[in-house]
Amino acid sequence: MGVSQTSVPPGWQFRRDLPNGSHGTQQLRPPTPGSAQLAPAVGRLGAAPGRSPPRSGDRHRAEPPARRWPVRLDRGSDDWSAVPPVTPPVRVTVLGLGLAGGRIHVPTLQRLPQAKLVALCDPDPVRRAGSWPAPVFAAWQDALEVSADAVVVATTPETHAELTAAAVSLGRHVYVEKPMAATVAEGVALKHAAAAAGIVLQVGFAYRFHPLWRSVRRLLDRGWLEPRMVARAQFTTPGGEGRREPVFDVACHHLDLVSWLTEQRALEVQVSDGGAVGARWPCAAQLLGRYQVGPPTDVVTLSDGRRQVTVDRLRGWRLRGRPSPPVPALVLARLARSGMEVSFTRALAVFLAAVRGGDGVIDGAAGPADGIAAIAIIDALRRSVVTGLPEPVAMV
């Protein structure tokens, strides 16, 4: 059975991500009576200007990645096309070669023509012994002596504030993994220091740049989904190598996403047995999630009582409309395939564009204020673990 044309906003487009990163769009077509499903989707996430919409079954040609990074994204926009790479490339130092720094950020920056790695750092001799694309230092002070434009801070959380402050004092733009600092006071000090120095300070809430979450943002912008929604989440992540408890390590991603979607700060959070986390926002939005150690899973279903959207970040790759009477549903699902997580690539590309473009903040990127809000949420989560009760989130 087809999907009612009234259940999808008119004029929306289909977008398909291929494994090689190419894109294509086609106009939404009315459903064919008796069809099993309808595959058109939301979003214009990278079709090159002037390209004709492909016919069904056409193979999409790859586009040079260097042409698709934005100087600025408008609210909810995902037009990554027709923007030349920054010239010259941004010289980047990466501090920390663990899971985030060594396995995600260094390979990502190697792939981006906008970046040039000039120095790496990690105190662990085993990590330093690997094959790296730039000189590796044991002390972060030595790494920061290498001339650079930007620094990626991907060390252990308790060192984030010190290293970010040191980079800012040298006039380096900073991409810092979450949490930005250990305390709200440290976060506020970093925010003021970055503003005084006129540098870009971006916090690593990269999932905001996943195309599925950008599509959900557009659903809210266009009124198809209302902010007074309930988000039911399941996030499991492998343990080991410096990982904190999932409640503190990954729940903040979903809390940040709901805050970004609703444009409000969480009011209170509660932690229960089994990694269960609950939260609420002024607009009556709620998060009911479970965060545990296990095989990688990240699935969130958002419902406002009329419609619902399910985001499968690790396996979802397109927006499919399916009938689900009496509530129409849009299911975001991607074919299972490793190496398709694009959030980190896009987040770093936006950071590099901000460094060269001088915008300071690009829409969708998590700035210092978002980083401070996340610290306040983590503080409330810790208090709730002790009390077992809902704890208010400090309004900073």
pLDDT by residue (tens digit) across 113-140?
999 999 999 999 999 998 999 999 999 9
Is residue 6 in a domain? Answer: no
Give me the CATH number covering residue 190: 3.40.50.720
206-249 per-position pLDDT tens digit? 999 998 899 999 999 999 999 999 999 999 998 765 567 899 99
Give me the CATH number covering residue 293: 3.30.360.10
* 252 lies in the same domain as 193: no
* 163 lies in the same domain as 305: no
* 252 lies in the same domain as 381: yes
127 in Cβ contact with 94 (< 8 Å)? no
DSSP letters of 128-191? HTS--SS-EESSHHHHHTS--SEEEE-S-GGGHHHHHHHHHHTT-EEEEPSSS-SSHHHHHHHH
257-272 per-position pLDDT tens digit? 999 999 999 999 999 9
* 221 lies in the same domain as 291: yes
Average pLDDT rounded to a whole number, residues 164-176: 98
pLDDT class of 71 with cuts at 50, 70, 90:
very low
Could you tell me what percent of the chain has a pLDDT over 90?
Answer: 62
* 237 lies in the same domain as 329: yes
283-293 per-position pLDDT tens digit? 999 999 999 99
Question: How much is the pLDDT for 363?
Answer: 66
Distances (CA, A) of 322 to 71, 116, 189, 259, 333: 35, 44, 49, 27, 12
Question: How much is the pLDDT for 130?
Answer: 82
Is residue 266 in a domain? Answer: yes
Cα 181 from Cα 90, distance rounded (Å): 25
- Its pTM stands at 0.76
Query: What tokens appear for 86 in the block?
Result: 């920054």
* 386 lies in the same domain as 360: no
Query: What tokens appear for 208 in the block?
Result: 């905001």
Is residue 43 in a domain? Answer: no
Is residue 223 in a domain? Answer: yes
Q: What are the φ/ψ torsions at residue 81 (nearest 5 degrees)? A: -100, 160
Is residue 139 in a domain? Answer: yes
Other Cβ atoms less than 10 A from the Cβ of 248: the count is 19
* 106 lies in the same domain as 177: yes
pLDDT class of 364 with cuts at 50, 70, 90:
confident
Which of 145, 147, 87 is CA-nearest to residue 113?
87
Distances (CA, A) of 284 to 50, 66, 395: 43, 41, 17
* 248 lies in the same domain as 381: yes
Residues 6+ apart with CB under 8 A from 25: 13, 14, 15, 44, 47, 51, 53, 54
* 258 lies in the same domain as 316: yes
Q: Which domain holds residue 100?
A: 90-206+344-365
* 330 lies in the same domain as 354: no
Is residue 77 in a domain? Answer: no
143 in Cβ contact with 119 (< 8 Å)? yes
Cα 45 from Cα 69, distance rounded (Å): 11
Question: How much is the pLDDT for 305?
Answer: 93
Number of domains observed in the structure of the chain: 2
Other Cβ atoms less than 10 A from the Cβ of 326: the count is 5
Query: What tokens appear for 285 in the block?
Result: 């939005």
* 119 lies in the same domain as 195: yes
Is residue 69 in a domain? Answer: no
* 240 lies in the same domain as 163: no
